[in-house]
Structure 1
């Protein structure tokens, strides 16, 4: 929906009666203001065009703008809104949007399940889904996958917002490595996508990841939300297999303490380092723990949470993303 701010600068402390016949041909929608002499009552009016809806904003400094509890649709006639104020100076501007169809007071511009009209009455931001509150982000599937060159990874990257918010906007970006993202897994591949979380369980924001045509490439992937200038983000990666490298074998995990497990394995490529990865969600997402130097076939994992299942896997070669 297109929007256009139309600003008229008025010093209410100096306002006098002025009003003229308003028609569709007048500039600036014939946006005018008048007041009753010796009173604090003012009237704002303009020409309301059909197929448009109108919001009003006010400011005392032309920097900080706030919405007034006004939302009306145009019908090719004059619209009027009255107010009382004792401010020495106050500015107003119209926000004009294409009509969404149906009752405009039921329109939900930011998709947060509250209509614009409800948000105007509540004083919340009708263009900010999160209303100034940073959410939490959690990768629930598709993190830390490997695949072949040019392959679309079988498990889409799924990010849940604040334990399951529906229709929540999330931005996905490829920070490096050459992977591409798609909302449907077949077309419109890009390095940046803005996705809304699903309205059905698991109510996650989901993107498909296509690997680059470079053996061994590791792409850094990020999901983020920015609210009122602050950003929350979560990162993972996707890598391209080198089909000529055989993973280490005979992996053994031996508990040594409540928070420590010692890993040992048999090297298949002694000349290469070994990448150790772990998963805390039964293999839905993986994290790179360490790149063990070439020729070394053991590693101690510490700082583990007691009584929590953890899976490990190994890869010959590699670097941390």
Structure 2
């Protein structure tokens, strides 16, 4: 390293130390602010460490609180690390000549900012502002507006995510997944219990016309999510239910609407009705999911019976 380069580093370090002392900062505090080790700050102030481009930017950011300080640090950096600044600054020849006397005085920590308009630079962003000694109100308003825009742009994705999450909580109903809503076997071992006038009805049994028929079954949500059932009923068809299936006349029991089951929660269905026409019938537990689709409930248990006129 040449002697002139060493001198430039020493003067740069002395300027950093002077600015730090003016702000009442310790070497440790400054190191924490710029994100470097305290030993690095110590070596810079002793003129034993050439500052990197990133570190120089941080020093200007935290130490140069006035236009004069910014210019001094910029000029000192220009002499200490010309390799950094050569590619970033292209001052006109006239401006370089005009500021040559100020460059020499800056090394002794002095500058006449009241008699000459100077252009202040940041290493990354180019000119910050032009002023005799302080930024104008217009520059201040522009800076505030830019800062506000940055926070708005940063906050917009977060706001959108929150709105999307809120919308799913308020309006989205997860589909009832096949097999996760099921019938529960009763204590007697039946998935679907049919009784006529208090008598248990098995497949193929006959009941008298006008008998009070009771249907009971229980469902359970075995999913890890809550489930919404728009309608739940004991679907019955007949006469002709044995041969025509769901195409036979509708003789379903009473509907239960908008049932919400939490994970592991059960619901007991119980309804009664009479049949006023003889013939073959069946009854099965069915539900309509949030997508509006009707379907059976596993294990799709169906009871077939006959309604006969009394002798």
Structure with bigger gyration radius: 2
> If each structure's strand is expressed as a fraction of its own residues, which one has the higher value?
1
> If each structure's helix is expressed as a fraction of its own residues, which one has the higher value?
2
- TM-score norm. by structure 1 comes to 0.29
- TM-score norm. by structure 2 comes to 0.29
